[in-house]
């Protein structure tokens, strides 16, 4: 079967991967209400296309944190890429570099940051941090990333404790999986035998701790997982440089709003003071357009990247990104947007139901 | 099985046609959300019938652009009728002439305009244009149509680039199909071996280009594909004579409103200055009544005509049109409307949900 | 299987009856949207029960047009009862008399009015009229019914032309069915061989004709099929004594509101000047309670009576009526209503959706 | 299969139990609309999580009627536990004591109150009363419970008559079941052969009777089954100490609101004067959090306790309670609530639909 849309890659990955890996990637927390809402909420939004505007030239380029990317479609941090392709994040990084977009490397990458950078030295990359209870380990990780050329620090705020993913519990994931987590080991251990190691996350982290992070790095700090205006205002007040509106793909707290439904509240609250991004539920170019129309500066894509990896490693990820970028280009053409700057709130409406 | 409603013709056509042709006709863009919404939105609207009004005589006649038609039910432009019946648009034209309604011939007709006119010389016809990058070709096409007795020029605005129809991509439609497109070839080529030729459309066309079209033809100009009040106001300001509210049967930009849901916005914006028509989702006489109650002067029917062609050519199209006209007559009788002029906004409501 | 609710009788009847009869009874017009909405709309309404009110004695009795009935649950006019049970309406009439409720005999009864009255001489009955083009025939029918002790004349307004019931068209119902329509024949013909005869209905009847009906009978006149405030106001102005809010079980114009959704509009418009009744979608005692809370004086039940007839004739109808009356008694007890007079608008709400 | 959420226990119980017992436990009244709404309504509510708040210590403890419990998750009164596990309520009581939460013993317990207390002497327990027509029997029951250390009297108000549960009628439950109801017999009969005995309930009980109950016991009185502001205000005026918002698991009056949808109305009406609790539809820790955010002081769980009993008696109930408590702990952590006092109305919203 030819793979012509991201949903095709999902079906293909489900066939290729073993059940416990598929469940780990695909599962949501509890009843997966929010995971499914992420998709459904996009479908409820209607586009308002404008015509006769000369779209012979459409430019999808934009910037995030001052860096140009070829389209507002980047790679969200997800862990353990070696579960789906042998050299894991190295393939992901190469595909991102080719596509000229940003790849956010996860704390739970199965390759070392050094290997990832070597694989694609010219790519734009951000580093995502799960704050560890050991402050020194945080400092080492962040400064290592900074010195390797990572351009921003993404701190995930929605995992003070792990979400309740039933399929992983049923699969007894801790025992069976064979995950690599080299970055969180000491240099000595880093190249030892791989094994599963989801290190404890620091549940005590709070707003006041942000100043410590700001003191140890020059990187812009972006909070990932903000869903309310109250937290968005606190983020601005604590001088972060960006917010990723995200519900962790529905994997943390079930029953929260779809990320696209939470976006408007956060965008209003920050009032343009920092860049706002979104992940969760992006499956077509129209979804990208809707997110930008509602105020996102760019979107991040999670699970579809893993589907691409499972399909054909670097080339699979490239194919996923190319489809999404091509669809987004078509979406812009069909709504009369010649540049990303022309995408605005008038392009969308919520339907009468 | 007897065919008693348009849905029966759909089921029948799906059995008769080869997969790639069926997919080409039936498919929508991307996830086909809008294609399905076109149908669902009609079902959400409620009729408010009036009784005891003497409906012993019900007259379905009306006019479009000053020409009388037997009912406000005409044939939307669709391409490649030879895919579903050997002599294609010639059968369609004959059925339209018998039904005394308007047939809009597509730029992508598989028969020549001359053959279509010869087949049904007394029928009311409009010509639909996909603007070509070559201005001369546009001029030749339009003037040829005008001299053949076509009564209006319908310019499609919602295809600056082709929509993303996954089923056609999967079927590799470009290679397998065997489509006839005689009108877009030079006179010499016109009768050569048929082959698929979807000529490039002009993505640069914009509002200012309308005056050029107005300078080369006396025909009233009707824009097809307008979905917003902003574009409707621009259309009026650029002196067009009509608007067809349409989302191209859900085949261009997925995620736009159902055409019946966009109708009210456009009707309000034009404030009676030009005639407004609708296509998309018409499957019963009640749908026709709802569209007229919300302000459409007439409706255009697309896919069901192809289902009729596939069934029995001219006689199949006649049967489809007769069912729809008869149903519309019944709808008028059961709501107390003795003439099309009596159909008004009070006949419909949107349900409490 | 024991039959414990009306839905059980439906399933049973579907097994017992031949396809064309089942389709005739069960079918709705066009897509059957309204037929299904009649059921769904009841399910969307929420009850607000009141407790601790001493419901040791609950009285379901009420009156319609001044006549006492044992519960506000009566039998709607439906035609051709001999299709489902040999002696047809005679069984229906006996069950209604036993239940002490009103039975509305249809113009399309398969038994004569005389036989129906003989079968159950003490029952309360109303006569439903499909106005015939021949005024004399109307006069004879009405005066015959009046002299036989019928207590009201129900004039159906929503059939100026027959609805479009696809299943009947597919089944070629006119030819195959073997229906009895004795009342519409001359006395001489009345006892001749039965055959299908749906006589033409008068589509020209209008508001001004009501005075003629009022001039030939002393019976209160009730209009069946009113769905809008405009028609409800006209009905009051033309001095009718009652309105049955009805969409003909979804068999006439598809796409109108569920009858329970139209009830409030009609009740508001008549402002207590005449009694308002409802049919369409009543399947449980809670449905009866909801209809009364929204202003209906009583409800009429159509298809479930035919299911009861199909099950066991008179005893089947009795069982259907007993279940519904018992459920309604329970509904009153569980909402703290000791008499029908205590049922009011505060008992219901429409849910937040 | 490992049992990782309450839904797993339901599936397991359905396999283990005989059909008539399963139907008795699982069934709702009439069409079970309200039973299913109890679940669906929770899924429609969205959580608004707050992050970066130091949730290294999360305390789920709270109090009801002044008594501390380990979490706001208690056991609702349900009858006939011996149907699902040999020593029935004795196992339930032991599990509740271990979990340090409150167990509300039903009038329809299949074990005697004395046996239940002996089984778990240190547990917090309330006694639920179905008021009997015989006042003396009520007095004996209540005073026996009080002397055995029960801490509150829960009077069920929503069963003036039994609900209409079709599956039980179909199963002819009265004849087949083998239920134990020792408490409602005289001391002499109490240990005789068990048999089904659902004693008649007093339908005449009304608000004025509450003073008699208050005169014979020192226990706080809690009304179970209130769903409207009107009844909530009457409850406060009659000096009760608490209200359980409940629709009896959808087993009494079908068509009432989901209990979580009725909660807000009741909470507003009582304005903090008495504690308000909720049962109905609690299946996850998020549901508990939503109920508390909307004003419940604690929730009661019904059917899942029976599923736990069916699985492994005392240990099954413990497992159910542990899962729910653990999930609730996670829900608090992921919304930034460090204590039950921090759970408030800002944590929830109803989605735009």
* Gap between the Cα atoms of D94 and B208, Å rounded: 83
Closest chain A residue to the Cα of D353, Cα to Cα: A353
Choose among A302, A160, A297: nearest CA to A242: A297
Choose among B232, B177, B146: nearest CA to B17: B177
Is A81 one of the annotated active-site residues of the chain? no
Contacts of B59 in chain C (CB under 8 A): none
Question: Does residue D27 lie in a domain region?
Answer: yes
Q: Judge: B52–C255 Cβ closer than 8 Å, yes or no.
A: no
Question: Does residue A350 lie in a domain region?
Answer: no
Q: Which residue in this structure is represented by tokens 């479908």?
A: A43
pLDDT at A63 over 90: yes
Q: Can you give the pLDDT at residue A350?
A: 86
Q: Judge: C52–D205 Cβ closer than 8 Å, yes or no.
A: yes
Which of D35, D158, D160, D247 should we substitute to test contact with C (largest number of C Cβ atoms within 10 Å)? D160
Q: Can you give the pLDDT at residue D176?
A: 39
Model confidence pLDDT, tens digit, residues C110-130: 999 999 999 999 999 999 999
Sequence-ordered alpha helix ranges (H) in chain A: 6-16, 19-26, 33-44, 89-99, 113-119, 135-147, 166-170, 173-176, 210-216, 229-237, 259-270, 285-293, 303-335
Neighbours of B234 (CB within 10 A): 19
| Tally of domains within chain D | 1
- A vs D: CB pairs below 8 A: 89
Q: How does residue A177 score in pLDDT terms, banded at 50, 70 and 90?
A: very low
Q: How far is CA D220 from CA D64, D72, D130, D211, in A?
A: 11, 19, 16, 12
Residues of C identified as active-site: 248
Please check whether residue D284 touches A, CB under 8 A. yes
Contacts of C172 in chain B (CB under 8 A): 2
Contacts of D54 in chain A (CB under 8 A): 203-206
B102-105 and B124-129 strand pairing: parallel
Q: Judge: D231–C5 Cβ closer than 8 Å, yes or no.
A: no
Q: Can you give the pLDDT at residue D351?
A: 74
B31, B158, B170: residue with CB nearest A51: B158
Contact B335, B47 (CB under 8 A): yes
Cα dihedral C66, C67, C73, C74, rounded to 10, equals: -110
pLDDT at A330 over 90: yes
Contacts of B227 in chain A (CB under 8 A): 48-49
Q: Can you give the pLDDT at residue C85?
A: 96
pLDDT at C183 over 60: no
Contact D274, D242 (CB under 8 A): yes
Please check whether residue C136 touches D, CB under 8 A. no
Residues of chain B with pLDDT under 50: 175-178, 180, 185-187, 189-196, 353
Q: How does residue A166 score in pLDDT terms, banded at 50, 70 and 90?
A: very high
Q: How does residue C176 score in pLDDT terms, banded at 50, 70 and 90?
A: very low
- What sign does the CA torsion over D200, D203, D204, D209 have? positive
Which of residues C194 and A91 earns the better pLDDT score?
Answer: A91
A33, A203, A228: residue with CB nearest D333: A203
Contacts of B52 in chain C (CB under 8 A): 157, 205-207, 209-210, 231, 234
Q: Can you give the pLDDT at residue A176?
A: 39
Q: Can you give the pLDDT at residue B343?
A: 98
Q: Can you give the pLDDT at residue C344?
A: 97
Q: Can you give the pLDDT at residue B8?
A: 98
Contact B224, B150 (CB under 8 A): no
Please check whether residue A60 touches B, CB under 8 A. no
Mean pLDDT of C222-249: 98
Contacts of C226 in chain B (CB under 8 A): 51
Q: Can you give the pLDDT at residue A223?
A: 98
Measured in angstroms, the CA of C67 and the nearest CA of chain D are apart by 30
Please check whether residue D5 touches A, CB under 8 A. yes
Question: Does residue D175 lie in a domain region?
Answer: yes
Q: Can you give the pLDDT at residue B189?
A: 47
Question: Does residue A352 lie in a domain region?
Answer: no
- C vs D: CB pairs below 8 A: 89
Measured in angstroms, the CA of A232 and the nearest CA of chain D are apart by 10
Percent of the residues in chain A that have a pLDDT greater than 70, as a whole number: 92
Contact D42, D283 (CB under 8 A): yes
Strand residue runs (E) in chain C: 46-47, 62-64, 67-69, 73-75, 102-105, 124-129, 153-156, 221-226, 242-245, 275-279, 299-301, 348-349
Residue B103: strand pairing partners: B75, B125
* Gap between the Cα atoms of A5 and A287, Å rounded: 13
Q: Which residue in this structure is represented by tokens 């005056």?
A: B211
B169, B252, B261: residue with CB nearest A352: B261
Q: Judge: D157–C334 Cβ closer than 8 Å, yes or no.
A: no
Q: Can you give the pLDDT at residue C296?
A: 98
Q: Can you give the pLDDT at residue D183?
A: 55
Q: Can you give the pLDDT at residue B176?
A: 39
Q: Encoding tokens for residue C12?
A: 């049973």
Which of A19, A23, A30, A251 should we substitute to test contact with D (largest number of D Cβ atoms within 10 Å)? A30
Contacts of C261 in chain B (CB under 8 A): 351-352
Closest chain D residue to the Cα of A159, Cα to Cα: D334
Task: Write the CATH number for B187.
Answer: 3.20.20.70
Percent of the residues in chain C that have a pLDDT greater than 70, as a whole number: 92
What residues 81-120 of chain B have any CB closer than 8 A to a CB of chain A?
Answer: none
Which of D9, D51, D336, D345 should we substitute to test contact with A (largest number of A Cβ atoms within 10 Å)? D51
Please check whether residue C226 touches B, CB under 8 A. yes
A158, A164, A210: residue with CB nearest D327: A164
pLDDT at A6 over 50: yes
Which strand (E) or helix (H) includes residue C215?
helix C210-216
Residue A218 belongs to what domain range? 6-338
Neighbours of A2 (CB within 10 A): 9
Q: Judge: D51–A158 Cβ closer than 8 Å, yes or no.
A: yes
Q: What is the pTM of this model?
A: 0.94
Question: Does residue D350 lie in a domain region?
Answer: no
Question: Does residue C127 lie in a domain region?
Answer: yes
Contact C221, C210 (CB under 8 A): yes
Residue D313: strand pairing partners: none
Contact A51, B226 (CB under 8 A): yes
Please check whether residue C39 touches D, CB under 8 A. no
Please check whether residue C225 touches B, CB under 8 A. yes
Please check whether residue A50 touches B, CB under 8 A. yes
Question: Does residue A295 lie in a domain region?
Answer: yes
* Gap between the Cα atoms of D331 and D343, Å rounded: 11
Please check whether residue B2 touches C, CB under 8 A. yes
Model confidence pLDDT, tens digit, residues B32-85: 999 999 999 999 999 999 999 999 999 999 999 999 999 999 999 999 999 999
Mean pLDDT of A36-63: 98
- Assign B223 to helix, strand or coil: strand
What residues 231-250 of chain C have any CB closer than 8 A to a CB of chain D?
Answer: none
Give the total residue count for chain A: 353
Q: Can you give the pLDDT at residue B226?
A: 98
Measured in angstroms, the CA of D203 and the nearest CA of chain C are apart by 5
Question: Does residue A73 lie in a domain region?
Answer: yes
Measured in angstroms, the CA of B288 and the nearest CA of chain A are apart by 21
Q: Judge: C43–D31 Cβ closer than 8 Å, yes or no.
A: yes
Measured in angstroms, the CA of A160 and the nearest CA of chain D are apart by 7
Contacts of D59 in chain A (CB under 8 A): none
What residues 318-347 of chain D have any CB closer than 8 A to a CB of chain A?
Answer: 327, 330-331, 333-335, 346
* Gap between the Cα atoms of A18 and A25, Å rounded: 11
pLDDT tens-place values along chain D, 353 residues long: 689 999 999 999 999 999 999 999 999 999 999 999 999 999 999 999 999 999 999 999 999 999 999 999 999 999 999 999 999 999 999 999 999 999 999 999 999 999 999 999 999 999 999 999 999 999 999 999 999 999 999 999 999 999 999 999 998 876 334 454 555 544 454 444 334 455 678 999 999 999 999 999 999 999 999 999 999 999 999 999 999 999 999 999 999 999 999 999 999 999 999 999 999 999 999 999 999 999 999 999 999 999 999 999 999 999 999 999 999 999 999 999 999 999 999 999 987 54
What angle is formed at CA B55 by the lines to CA B49 and CA B60, rounded to 5 degrees?
A: 85
- Assign C242 to helix, strand or coil: strand
Closest chain D residue to the Cα of A205, Cα to Cα: D54
D160, D163, D255: residue with CB nearest C55: D160
pLDDT at A180 over 50: no
Measured in angstroms, the CA of B59 and the nearest CA of chain C are apart by 14
Contact A100, A69 (CB under 8 A): yes
């Amino acid at each position: 079967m030819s793979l012509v849309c991201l949903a095709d890659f999902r079906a293909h990955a489900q066939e290729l991967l073993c059940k416990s890996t598929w469940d780990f990637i695909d599962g949501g927390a509890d009843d997966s209400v929010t995971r499914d809402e992420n998709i459904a909420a996009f479908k409820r939004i209607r586009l308002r296309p404008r015509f006769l505007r000369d779209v012979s030239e459409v430019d999808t380029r934009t910037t995030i944190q001052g860096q140009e990317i070829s389209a507002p479609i980047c790679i969200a941090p997800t862990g353990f890429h070696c579960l789906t392709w042998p050299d894991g994040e190295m393939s992901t990084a190469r595909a991102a570099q080719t596509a000229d977009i940003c790849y956010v490397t996860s704390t739970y990458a199965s390759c070392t940051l050094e290997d990832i950078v070597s694989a694609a030295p010219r790519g734009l990359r951000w580093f995502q941090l799960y704050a560890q209870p050991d402050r020194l380990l945080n400092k080492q990780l962040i400064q290592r990333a900074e010195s390797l050329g990572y351009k921003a620090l993404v701190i995930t705020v929605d995992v003070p404790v792990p979400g309740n993913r039933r399929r992983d519990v049923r699969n007894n994931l801790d025992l069976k999986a064979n995950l690599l987590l080299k970055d969180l080991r000491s240099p000595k251990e880093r190249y030892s035998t791989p094994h599963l190691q989801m290190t404890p996350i620091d549940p005590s982290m709070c707003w006041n701790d942000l100043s410590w992070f700001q003191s140890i790095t020059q990187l812009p700090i972006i909070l990932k997982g903000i869903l309310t205006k109250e937290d968005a205002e606190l983020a601005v007040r604590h001088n972060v440089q960006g917010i990723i509106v995200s519900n962790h793909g529905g994997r943390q707290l079930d029953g929260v709003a779809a990320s696209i439904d939470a976006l408007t509240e956060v965008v209003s609250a920050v009032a343009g003071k920092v860049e706002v991004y979104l992940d969760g539920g992006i499956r077509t170019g129209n979804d990208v357009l809707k997110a930008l129309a509602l105020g996102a500066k760019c979107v991040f894509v999670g699970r579809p990247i893993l589907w691409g990896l499972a399909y054909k490693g670097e080339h699979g990820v490239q194919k996923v990104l190319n489809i999404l970028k091509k669809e987004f280009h078509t979406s812009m053409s069909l709504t009369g947007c010649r540049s990303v700057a022309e995408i605005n709130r008038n392009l969308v409406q919520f339907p009468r139901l």
